[in-house]
Amino acid sequence: MVFFLNEFDIVEDEDIPEPSKECFQVLKYVKYQDETVKNMERDLGYLIGTAIKYYVGRLGGWESNVLKTLIYCSAVSDGRKTIIREDIERGYRTYFKLLNTDITKYKARQDVINSTDYNSLKSKITYYQLKFLHGKNP
């Protein structure tokens, strides 16, 4: 999704590039074009967060991180280390598209399933966190 953003639903598995460490390390060097763009992201986040809080409930802290990641990835996917207005718009469009997508139709890739160590400490901690937080088996 971080490569194709709001077009994530029209991409085939074989078209998805292999993520590299460098691909994600460049995200820490991304900056806003100027204070106006940075304020736009903050104000839009506040406005949308308030609307969602009114109708649904409070946004989780992780959702703002997802939004920022989508915005940063938009800039990087266009070959820039500078966030412009269009990146913020694209990040939010992707986020809203995700909210309206039936993700049950997407299957995990077999190579990912085969390469995951479900007996690792991290996997077990995640499992028990989900069980504890939701009171049932994930």
Quick count: other Cβ atoms within 10 Å of Cβ 2? 18
If asked whether residues 114 and 61 sit together in one domain, one would say no
Distance CA 96, CA 70 (A): 11
pLDDT over threshold 80, residue 42: yes
Q: What's the mean pLDDT when you consider all of the chain?
A: 78
If asked whether residues 22 and 84 sit together in one domain, one would say yes
The model's pTM: 0.68
- Which residue range is the domain that position 119 belongs to? 107-138
* AA identity, residue 37: V
* C-beta contacts of 52-58 below 8 A and 24+ residues apart: none
Domain count, the chain: 2
Residue 127: pLDDT band with limits 50, 70, 90: low
Residue 109: pLDDT band with limits 50, 70, 90: low
Helix/strand/coil for 36: helix
For 33, counting Cβ atoms within 10 Å of its Cβ (0-12 exposed, 13-18 middle, 19+ buried), the class is middle
